[in-house]
Structure 1
Amino acid sequence: MRKLFVRLSAALIASASAMAMAMHAANAAELKPGDVINAANFDQIKDDTFEGHKIGDMITDNVELMIKKFNLSIALRHSEAIPVPQEDIDNTKKYSGDVKIDPVTHEVTGYKAGTPFPDLSPDDSLGGFKALWNEYYQNTYGNTFDGHYTFLFIDSNRGLDRTQRWYTLSYKMKGRQTGDPVVGDGSLVKKQLLFAVEPYDIKGIGIFTVRYDNPQLEDNWAYVKSVRRTRQLSGSSWMDNLAGSVQLNDEYDAFAGRPSWYPAAKLVKKRWILAVAHLPLPLVTDGSDNATKYPTVDLKDKPYAWPTHKVEWEPREVYEIELTMPKEHPYSKRILFMDVNFPRIYQVEHFDKSGDFAKMSFVFTAPQKGGDGIIGMAPLQGIAFDIKREAAWVYLAEPDGMIDRPGITSDDVTLGQLEAAAQ
């Protein structure tokens, strides 16, 4: 009798649980564009859907933490296709068959243009590295990108601490969409200038970077204002903080290290997340107060770094990639989320040496027509929120930024140009 009672009780519990789940599913709603996900409603709507995807499934555990504990709120918009330039499609068909990856060193040979590894699978033991090589070579900027950025340095408890203006100019030496796919002898991937414009006390401070297409570390030169000279930085500068912010140099535009520098990269799975792929512009105006000057940044509420509801998030299918850091790196691992249709990373979760979640990064972007008419995806707004340092850093592209500005050549991106800008 007792066994029969136990079996009946278990059956009743299972039946009740199934009924509860069925009732909950029946009560689940389809959210609408403009609806907002926040700490007050997350538990009530996590089983609801948007464009057929369950909200809770599109929110990672650490984004849920940002919502519930750190006041992130997410306004929804319908997803929209992002055009992949025909030039990229043609170059991928033409050149990707020549690209090889070494299974031991994880180095790549044979790359010229297009996406080096168009077919990715979580079943491939090298899938994580292949995904990162796609981003490294072909992160959909266009051939060049230049323009000014405003940097916001934020104390998570007190608010905006200071602002700076910087100028950047990047020039692809490989993976070019139009013209010759490779400039020079093929030994370089990219050259880049980044230097401060305002305020006056830091004007001229900057970095000139040469990215080689081999395992050697990038060459970086910095202009030192106090001695009015450029100095070559140490090889470990790729792990240093960028412009004194909470973002590291190898986090520039989400990921800027050479994939082979990292001991392991695993393509975990495909999944859906909420991301910002159609950012409204402008991001910086001539407004008289912060609310109008920086309309996409909430500088009124803690932690003073999250986007306002002018910024809308949409469902995007992504690859989830787990990246293991070298032992000398400040972090132990990162989880990156990259669009499956093109190598744009929207979200990065950083873990400290103890394996604890320590920092959240988002990159917001939008399709931009370049000076040559080709659509690119430049990083327009980014957030790095460091939980342990209780600090954040936000960058905002100013209206003058342009993909493939006519007239820019490789000679515009040199150490001499950094020195000239500084003086």
Structure 2
Amino acid sequence: MASHKNARLDGQVCAERASRMVASRPRVPEARGRVGATACRVARIVASVAIAAVLSAPAAAQVTPGQVIDRSNADLVEDLVSPGVLWAVRNGMDLRIVPYRRIGLPAAYEKATEKYSAQCSIGKRGELLNWVAGRPFPVVDPNDPEAARKIMYNFERTHYFNDDLNMHLVDADTGGLYVDAKGRRHYQVERHFVADWLRVLQFIGRIYHDPRPAFEDNPDETFRKSGLYPLIEPFDLKGVGGISYRYLDLLKQDDTWLYLPSLRRVRRMSSAQRSDALFGQDIDVDSYGGYAGQIPWFDWKLLGEKPMLASLHGERLPPEPCEKDGGMTFCEVWEKRPSVYVIEGRPKVPNYAYSKRMIYVDKETYFVVYSDLYDQNGELWKVVMQSIRTSKRPNPNVAYEYDEERMFIYAFTVIDMQLMHGTRAAIPGMAFPDEAGWYIDIGFDQPQSADVDWFGVSGLIRAGR
């Protein structure tokens, strides 16, 4: 565990700092010094070239299993990764190339898809209609005007989880990246975070445990409820947590509440604030899992599909920080996926932090493998990279496994390329190698389960005291 003797605050000082962190959006400053200016120029050039490559659909570059892609040969993958991922490779993240492996659907999810998908459609306001369970659109015609929206709904209604999701002991580090006089990268950790639980409970689309396929008793009329609480570290944020409700009416804004123990109050967040980074980290609420916002909040456009690299068969838990960038990213195995959708999303929500999200969705699994975020000037700002493990065991070191393969986002990295700052997270945390970490679709009667009351404001406050 990281020491936080210097981070301790007391009383009102802590409260004011926490409040400011919640309210403020990460600014887009002028580039800091020679390194920052160079980073911004490189980010702009790389972004323009890579997006043009997607639109012109050139022949895919050749990479082979056994290769290691690093700064010295990064040009080999210029057409196989996003501009943000390419930036990370050129700044010290290595990609170890392994053979492609097909990923099948869980049997219950596939059965639900066959049973219900034919009745699904898109409404006049972009909402998903008549969905019960499974994948709403198993076949997407790229010429369909609603193709991008259908892909995003396939992602949102994925087989990642269907009834409930329970992640234990999530940890994260946040800090700055600097380059010394010899060109070596260093990641200076500023803060270390540990959260006890991240949970999601789904009220419709359920396929494993009763009530199926939906809760009859759903007075809040929610699609799903989620929560991340309480924080265990750092000391000055101990007990902080949040819950969020997404409603059956997809055009209704989410409700999100944040509990600040030092203020003894619950703060409500607006939809625009969901794009704000919290507590000095680089990730925002809407970037979790690739995209956690509402689908109707954005105008979506399918730019194309092509083979791209992605990390879907991670081997190491805890994940291994990269050496050449000082440990800001994780060096995991990557494979060439046969087809990845390139989706552009532009927000309809006023005062949203980003002008657009470029989201890369693996066609076979409908998982977001990475996404690039652009500032209001249209310049590349951040990249979100997900390390995914497909296995019966979420943690290869722990004898906890499922009957069939499931997919686990066991690590992710968010890099602010304009500020040379990054956040890396591991699930379970790197300090907890003997924790399974992932408890998916387990129902209400397991030791790791939570009841409906856990997702209420009263439960949030109790845990934070």
The answer to whether the superposition gives a TM-score over 0.5 is yes
Q: Please name the residue that 2:442 is paired with.
A: 405
Match of 2:227 among 193, 207, 213: 193
Deviations for 1:9-66, whole angstroms, at most 9, x for unmatched residues?
Answer: xxxxxxxxxxxxxxxxxxx9975433211221234xx2xxxxxxxx554234443343
Kept in 2, the 8 Å contact 1:135–1:343? The answer is yes
Residue 378 of structure 1 aligns to a residue in which SS? Answer: strand
Verify: 1:360 aligned to 2:390, yes or no. no
1:226–1:60 distance in 2 versus 1, CA, 3 Å: closer
Aligned partners of 1:113 and 1:175 also within 8 Å? yes
Please state how far the C-alpha of 1:210 moved relative to its aligned partner: 1.0
Distance 2:441 2:341 in 1: 28
Output aligned runs, 1:209-220, within 5 Å. Answer: 209-214=244-249, 215-220=251-256
User: For the structure 1 residues 194 and 60, does the alpha-carbon distance in structure 2 shift closer, same or farther, using more than 3 Å as the test?
Assistant: closer
Matched residue, 2:147: 127
Shift of 1:235: 4.1
CA 1:102/1:336 → structure 2, altered by over 3 Å: closer, same or farther? same
Shifted more, 187-196 versus 249-258: the winner is: 187-196
8 Å CA contact 2:311, 2:388 repeated in 1: yes
Give the CA deviation at 1:185: 5.5
Structure 1: 5+ residue runs without aligned partners?
1-27, 47-54, 284-294
User: Are 1:152 and 1:395, in contact at CA under 8 Å, matched by a contact in 2?
Assistant: yes
Aligned to 1:64, what secondary structure does the other structure show? helix
Q: Deviations over 1:79-121 (max 9, x none)?
A: 1122310111111111112222124x11122111101111112
Hey, what does 1:111 align to over in structure 2?
A: 131
Q: Is the 8 A contact 2:105 2:159 kept in 1?
A: no
TM-score normalised by the chain length of structure 1:
0.81
Question: Which structure has the bigger radius of gyration?
Answer: 1
Aligned residue number for residue 171 of structure 1: 201
Kindly state the Cα deviation for residue 315 of structure 1 after the two structures are TM-superposed: 1.1
2:269 corresponds in structure 1 to 233
What TM-score comes out, normalization by structure 2 length? 0.74
Greater mean deviation of Cα atoms: 413-422 or 311-320? 413-422
Which residue is 1:297 aligned to? 321
Report what 1:393 is aligned to.
Answer: 423
Q: CA RMSD in A?
A: 2.4
Partner of 2:165: 145
- List gaps (5 residues or longer) in structure 2: 1-59, 179-186, 394-400, 429-434
CA shift in 2, pair 1:29/1:210, >3 Å? closer
Deviation at residue 258 of structure 1 after TM alignment: 0.7
Residue 248 of structure 1, aligned match among 256, 270, 284? 284
How far apart are residue 231 of structure 1 and its match? 3.3
- In structure 2, relative to structure 1, the CA distance for the partners of 1:62 and 1:246 (3 Å cut) is closer
For residues 238-277 of structure 1, the aligned pairs below 5 Å read: 238-262=274-298, 264-277=299-312
How many equivalent residue pairs? 369
Say whether 1:331 aligns with 2:354.
Answer: yes
Q: Structure 1 pair 124/383, CA: closer, same or farther in 2 (3 Å)?
A: same
Aligned partners of 1:324, 1:151: CA distance in 2, in Å? 28
Structure 1's 272 and 32: CA in aligned 2 closer, same or farther, altered over 3 A?
closer
Q: 1:362-383: CA deviations, max 9, x gaps?
A: 1111124487635432321111
Cα distance in 2, alignment partners of residues 250 and 60 from structure 1: 19
Q: Structure 1, residues 389-410: CA drift from partner, whole Å, max 9, x if none?
A: 2111111001332222352343
Q: How far off is 1:357 after superposition?
A: 1.3
Structure 1 SS opposite 2:253: coil
